[in-house]
Amino acid sequence: MPLEWPAHALSALEAWNCYPGVYFSAATRPQEAPIVAVIDSGIDAAHPDFINPGAAGPEVSQGGQLLLSAARSFVSGAPDPSEVTDELGRGTHLAGIIAAGANNGVTAGSGIAGLAYPARLLPIKVANVTGGATWSDVADAIIYAADQGATVILIGPSGPTWSAGAQAAIDYAWNRGCFLVAPAGDGALYFPGSCPHVFGVGAVAVTGMVTSYSPAGDGVALVAPGGDETVGIYSTLPTYACPFRPDLTGPPYGCRYGTIYAAAHVAGAAALYAGATGLRPDTGDEGAMLWQALEQASGAAEWSAARGYGQVSPAALLSGTAPAPGAGSIVGRVLCDGAPLLDAGVTAVSQSGGGSFTAISSWPAGGYRIANLPPGIYTVTTTSGGESGVWQDVEVSPGCDRPAVDFLLGDQVFSADLRASALPTAAVRGKLLQFSVTFGNTGPTAWTRAESIFLALDSDDPTWEGIQVGLRPEEIVAPGGEKSYALGAPAPDRCGFYHVSLRMCQQGGAGGFGPAAEATISVTSFLDVPADYWALEAIEAVKAASIVGGYGGDVYRPNVTVTRDQMAVFISRALAGGDANVPEGPATPSFPDVPASHWAYKYIEYARQQGIVSGYWDGYHPGDNLDRGQMAVFIARAMAGGEAGLAGYTPPESASFADVPPDFWSYKHVEYLRQAGVTGGYPDGQYHPERECARDQMAVYIARAFALTP
C-alpha cells in the first residue's frame, strides 16, 4: 500500500491534470491563489516540503507555499503573536496534506504533494503543545482568517461543548463568503464540525469504508480519507522533536489518523476547486457555492448520517464527471432573540405540489436538517411559542445541501419606506431589463447580511419569481440610511402582462417589510406593441418568421404607413422563406428609380420576377405610401403565384364591399382576399381601399395569407 494512498483514492493526479496542469517553481507559483487558513497548532516553517524549486524560502513572496507574513498566534497569553512554531506537530501535518509543494525533490522517497499545492497556506496558531485550545482563541482566529481573505478555513481543534462565541465568529466568516470545514469528531459528534455554517467531515479508511471512530449525525456533510490505526495519513511533521515526532531518526514525515485529517483533504479539495474557478470571498455566497459543489461531485443519490453525501472527489469536482445525483437537503438553524431555539418544528413545502417535510431544531445550536428532499423550490417555515418565520423560494438542488436556511425570530423590528423607483412598463421577450429602487431604513435596527436582509423581486411569472439580492458582507444600512439597488433580469419569453414587485425582506424572519415598488409589464417582441394590441398575434408571427425585424430591433411602429419598397421586402421574405433565401438582383435594374444601390433592390426585383409587382409607366415609385387597394394586389398575387395565377379566378358579380364595386381597379384582388379569409373589411362594412396601409395591417394580411397564424 503506497504511503500516499489518499492521493490515489481521490484521483489527485486526474484532478491536477484539470487544474493547475503543471507543477510550480518559485518563478511560476501563482501569487493570488486561494488562501487556506489552517487554525491549529501552528507550523514548522523550516520544513523543506513548503519550499518550491528555486524558492529562497517558504514564504509565498519567496516562491514558497506559506503566507508567513500574515501568520498569527492566538494562544492565550502568548507573548509574540507572530510566533507560530508548531510545538505539537499536528498543524504541520495538516498543512502538508493541504499544501506541501509538488515535485520539489524533497527527501527522496519521503516527500509528498499537498492536494491543494497551488493554494497559499495561512498558518494560525491556537493550540498549545498538548493540543488544547480555548473557544475564545479559536473565535479570534476565525475572524482574523476571514479578514485576511481566506477562501477556506480549516478549524482543527474540536470538543463536545458548543460555544456561542465561536459560533458568532463562524457566522461572521460565513457571511463574508468563507468556506469553513472541521472534523466531525472522533468517537462522537464534536463541535465546531456540528456547528451551523461549518462543513463537518467524517473519515474513511484505506478500504473506503467509514472508520469505527467516525461519528454519524446531521453534521456530516462528506467523508474523506482519515485512516485508522492500521494505515494512517502520511504527511509532513516538524523537523524538530515534538509530541507528534518524538523520534528524529527518520525524515520529518509520519502517519496519523482521525477525522481532522479527513477534514484537511476536504479543505484541499475546496481550495483546488476555488483555484480552478476563480472563486474568492466577495459577495458572501462563495462558501455556499463551495459547499454544494463538493457534495454534488461525490455523486451520491442521497444523504446518510454516516457518510453524508459520500466521499470527496476532487477529480469529479474539477472535471465535472460526477454521476447525476438524486435527493437534496435543507440545513439551517432556528434562533430567537439571537439565542438557539430548541425543539422548533421546521416544515418545507414543495411549491410544485411535491409534498411537505419536517424536522426539529436540536440541542445545542438550534440546528436542523430536512434530509433527502426531491429537488425543487420550497417554502420553509417555523412556528414556536407564537414566533413565526418564513423562507420563500428555497431551491433544493440534487445531491447537496441547501445550507444556511436560518430562522431569526424575536422582537427585532425592521421597517422601510420606498424613496425612489424606476420600473419598466414594457419589455422585449427574453431580453435583459433593468429595475432600480431605493429604500430607506425607517426602523430601529440596522440592515446587515447577518440579519438576512435582502431585496426580493416577485412576479406572477417563474422567470422573475424569487429573484433576491442580498447585502454585501461589509454593508450596513443604519437606521435613517438608504440602500439603492439596480438589478437586471431577463424578461419572460412569452407575451403577456406580468405583475412585478420589489420590496425589502428578512429571510427567515417575518418576511417582507415596508411598501413595495410595483409595476405591470407588457412583454412582447416590440416595446411599442403591448400585450393587448389588436394585431399582436400577427406581428409576433411575422417576427418569428423573420419577415420583419422592427426599427432598431425593439420597436415595430405599428401605425406607420408601409411604403412600396417595404412591402416588396415583406412579400419577398415571406415567399422565399426568410431573408437569406432572397436571391441577389440582376445586373441590370428593371426600374429606373430602383438602382442596384437601392436598399430594397434585390427584394423589388425578386417580387417582379415572381409576378407580384410590375410598376408604373415611369418606374416603381419605391418610396410611395401603399394604400389598401395596392396591398390587396400584392397579397393576392403572392398567394396565387403572380397575376397569371389569378387568371382562372372569377370574382363574384355582387361586390362584398360597397366602396369596392366590380369596376374598381383592384376589385378582383380584394374579393380574392375576402374569399380566402384574409380580409373582412372594417366594422362599417367598407373596405376603404384608398386608406394608407399601416404596418399592423400589413402584418395581419401576411400572417393570414401565409398561414402564420391559426
- Based on the fold, state whether residues 347 and 314 are members of the same structural domain: no
Model pLDDT, residue 486: 94
- Based on the fold, state whether residues 352 and 264 are members of the same structural domain: no
- Based on the fold, state whether residues 625 and 593 are members of the same structural domain: yes
pLDDT at 665 over 80: yes
| Domain-terminating residue out of 524, 554, 582 | 524
- Based on the fold, state whether residues 186 and 224 are members of the same structural domain: yes
How far apart are alpha carbons 353 and 350 in whole angstroms? 5
- Based on the fold, state whether residues 507 and 549 are members of the same structural domain: no
Q: Which residue has the higher pLDDT, 122 or 352?
A: 122
Residue 529 placed within a domain? no
DSSP letters, 565-594, are HHHHHHHHHHHHTSGGGSPPPPSS-SSTTS
What predicted TM-score, i.e. pTM, was given to this entire model? 0.83
Position 427 confidence tier, pLDDT thresholds 50, 70, 90 = very high
701 close to 626: Cβ distance less than 8 angstroms:
no
Position 151 confidence tier, pLDDT thresholds 50, 70, 90 = very high
- Based on the fold, state whether residues 291 and 367 are members of the same structural domain: no
Query: Coil, strand, or helix at residue 221?
Result: strand
Helices 695-705 and 628-640 pack at an angle, to 10 degrees, of 20
In this structure, what CATH number is given to the domain that contains residue 29? 3.40.50.200
| Domain-terminating residue out of 270, 286, 319 | 319
Residue 505 placed within a domain? yes
Model pLDDT, residue 166: 97
Model pLDDT, residue 109: 60
pLDDT at 129 over 60: yes
- Based on the fold, state whether residues 454 and 483 are members of the same structural domain: yes
| Domain-terminating residue out of 409, 434, 458 | 409
- Based on the fold, state whether residues 484 and 375 are members of the same structural domain: no
Residue 446 placed within a domain? yes
Model pLDDT, residue 417: 97
Residue 573 placed within a domain? yes
Domain count for the chain, please give it: 4
pLDDT tens digit sequence for 85-111: 999 999 999 999 999 998 887 665 678
Write out the E strands in 18-167: 35-40, 72-73, 120-125, 152-155
Residue 122 placed within a domain? yes
Nearest to 200, CA basis, from 188, 97, 126, 380: 188
Q: Which residue has the higher pLDDT, 415 or 77?
A: 415
- Based on the fold, state whether residues 159 and 303 are members of the same structural domain: yes
Q: Which residue has the cell 482568517?
A: 145
Owning domain of residue 449: 416-524
Residue 531 placed within a domain? no
Residue 530 placed within a domain? no
pLDDT tens digit sequence for 607-652: 999 999 988 989 999 999 999 999 999 999 999 999 999 988 999 9
pLDDT tens digit sequence for 523-577: 999 999 999 999 999 999 999 999 998 887 799 999 999 999 999 999 999 999 9
- Based on the fold, state whether residues 234 and 280 are members of the same structural domain: yes
pLDDT at 1 over 60: no
Burial 168-178, CB ≥16 within 10 A → b, else e: ebbbbbbbbbb
pLDDT tens digit sequence for 189-220: 999 999 999 999 999 999 999 999 999 999 99
Count of positions (residues) in the chain: 710
Residue 710 placed within a domain? no
In this structure, what CATH number is given to the domain that contains residue 355? 2.60.40.10
- Based on the fold, state whether residues 337 and 386 are members of the same structural domain: yes
- Based on the fold, state whether residues 129 and 35 are members of the same structural domain: yes
